[in-house]
Amino acid sequence: MKWPLLLWLAILLGIGRPAEAHQVNLVTARVALTADRIVKVELGLKGSDVDRLIGTRAYDAKQDAVDPAAVEAAGAAILAYLDTHMAVTGGGTACAPGSAAILPDGDGIVYRNSFACANMAGDIVYRSTVLTEKDKAARQVMLVAQGKSESQALLDADNITVTLSKEPPSLSSTMWRYLLTGIEHIFLGYDHVAFLAAIVLWARRLMPVVKIVTAFTVAHSLTLSLAALNVLVIPSRIVEPAIAASIVFVAVENFFSRDVDKRWRLAFLFGLIHGFGFAGVLREIGLPPDAIVPALAAFNLGVEIGQIAIVALMLPVLGLMDRITLVGRDEPARAARLVYAMSAVIGLLGGYWLVTRMFEA
């Protein structure tokens, strides 16, 4: 999902891994600093982004794959772009690059190179404006390896450098970063917000909402953990349309049922599906090997904080609308036309996402 229009997906966690899906508007990177001050860089980009940046036609949208021959033909142009927008320096001086490689990687390309910084004094810094110079919403997710330690970093239009030679981040800073990522993901994951909105539209008491949120939390925490740890992984081409279908189902059900008390069952069932969607972020960003459990817990907690905040904002607004529509009644009641109108809008959005995701798959 993009960030800010969706959010992060796709990071290559190691040199030589098999081809994986790449996310539009996202660069994934693995940067390793060795003891002899050699920096090994591997970048991954979506084929459609390569075409947009370079002006090539290597990506086939129908096949969701790049043409290896077209990638080879565009190799020089891709390298020229990366040389302009990516650099490794030692003490402010460019480190000597090795022989770069541009390889097709499923639906994208992979760039590999090494930089010799042994003769450079001072901090070793990785700098990149790949994608961000074209689109301020683009991001670059990095796995930074130094010796036996690994950490994550995020580059954007305002943050374009990472100092590789400094001490790795503390456990508390790592957890804080994953907590914020979880909060941001739920707020910017418009399909998840739409689902939460649709499922509580008829709610006028707190307890049914508590049951719904708890069931959704338990369910997606389970599948999020299993998928993020690679225990059980379902392809995004199945998960993303299924999430859209869950939105349509709940929105349509609002026209036929007002029984919110039993909706925790639906929340649990669909929460299992949404958990695989949440896991897409973590699987692609990567979990720090030395803090897998704390980072996973922090991300999950961030998702819950965002989720509770969304519901907490919705309920007072719905309650206010109940009182505004109070006409000739002693007690406010949820106006059916309000729920139907909102459900129709959410259902149309879900239907649009369903069709586009099925077509993309």
Query: Is 17 among the domain residues?
Result: no
d(CA 177, CA 171): 10
User: Distance of CA 130 to CAs 44, 100, 350, Å?
Assistant: 11, 16, 32
Do 103 and 184 belong to one domain?
Answer: no
Any domain includes 38: yes
Q: Where does the pLDDT of residue 292 fall: very low under 50, low under 70, confident under 90, or very high at 90 and above? A: confident
**Same-domain status, 162 and 178:** no
User: Is residue 156 located within the same domain as residue 247?
Assistant: no
Same domain, 141 and 208: no
pLDDT class of 21 with cuts at 50, 70, 90: low
The pLDDT tens digits of the residues spanning 53-110 come to 888 888 888 888 889 999 999 999 999 999 999 999 988 899 999 999 999 988 889 9
Residue 3 has pLDDT above 50, yes or no: no
pLDDT at 17: 38
Last residue of a domain, one of 168, 203, 226: 168
Does 161 lie in the same domain as 178?
no
Query: 198 and 140, same structural domain?
Result: no
Confidence of residue 122 (pLDDT cuts 50, 70, 90): confident
Question: Bigger pLDDT: 111 or 14?
Answer: 111
List the beta bridge partners of residue 145: 32, 150
Query: Residue 231 belongs to a domain with what CATH number?
Result: 1.20.1250
Does 329 lie in the same domain as 209? yes
DSSP code for 61: T
For residue 14, the model assigns a pLDDT of 34
pLDDT tens track for 164-191: 876 666 778 778 888 888 888 788 778 8
Mean of the per-residue pLDDT values of the chain: 81
Q: Is residue 1 part of a domain?
A: no
Last residue of a domain, one of 111, 136, 168: 168
Per-residue pLDDT tens over the stretch 148-166 = 677 778 888 888 998 887 6
220, 164: one domain = no
Q: Which residue has the higher pLDDT, 215 or 361?
A: 215
Supply the pLDDT for residue 334. 65
Q: Do the domain assignments include residue 118?
A: yes
pLDDT, one tens digit per residue, over 191-238 is 888 888 888 888 877 888 888 888 888 888 898 888 878 788 888 888
What pLDDT is attached to residue 361?
Answer: 52
User: Per the structure block, which two tokens stand in for 260?
Assistant: 């919110």
55 in any annotated domain = yes
2 found inside a domain: no
Q: What is the pLDDT of residue 142?
A: 85
Q: Model's pTM, two decimal places?
A: 0.56
Secondary structure E strands in 16-64: 26-33, 38-46, 59-60
Same domain (yes/no): 286, 183 = yes
Which residues form the domain of 188? Answer: 174-360
**Is 108 within 8 Å of 22 (Cβ atoms)?**
yes
Instruction: Say if 9 falls within a structural domain.
Output: no
- Asked if the model's pLDDT at residue 333 lies above 90, the reply is no
3-state per-residue secondary structure call for 170-206: CHHHHHHHHHHHHHHHHHHCHHHHHHHHHHCCCCCCH
Do 292 and 331 lie in one domain? The reply is: yes
Read off the pLDDT band of 304 (50, 70, 90): confident
pLDDT score recorded for residue 217: 86
Query: Would you say residue 146 has pLDDT above 60?
Result: yes
- Domain assignment present for residue 142? The answer is yes
259 and 276 housed in the same domain:
yes
Secondary structure of the chain: what % helix, strand, coil (to 5)?
A: 50, 20, 30
Burial 296-324 (b: 16+ CB within 10 A, else e): bbbbbbbbbbbbeebbeebbeebeebbee
**How many structural domains does the chain have?**
2
Q: Is residue 311 scored above 80 in pLDDT?
A: yes
Mean pLDDT value across residues 249-268: 88
Which residue among 115, 142, 168 closes a domain? 168
Say if residue 115 is in the same domain as residue 209.
no
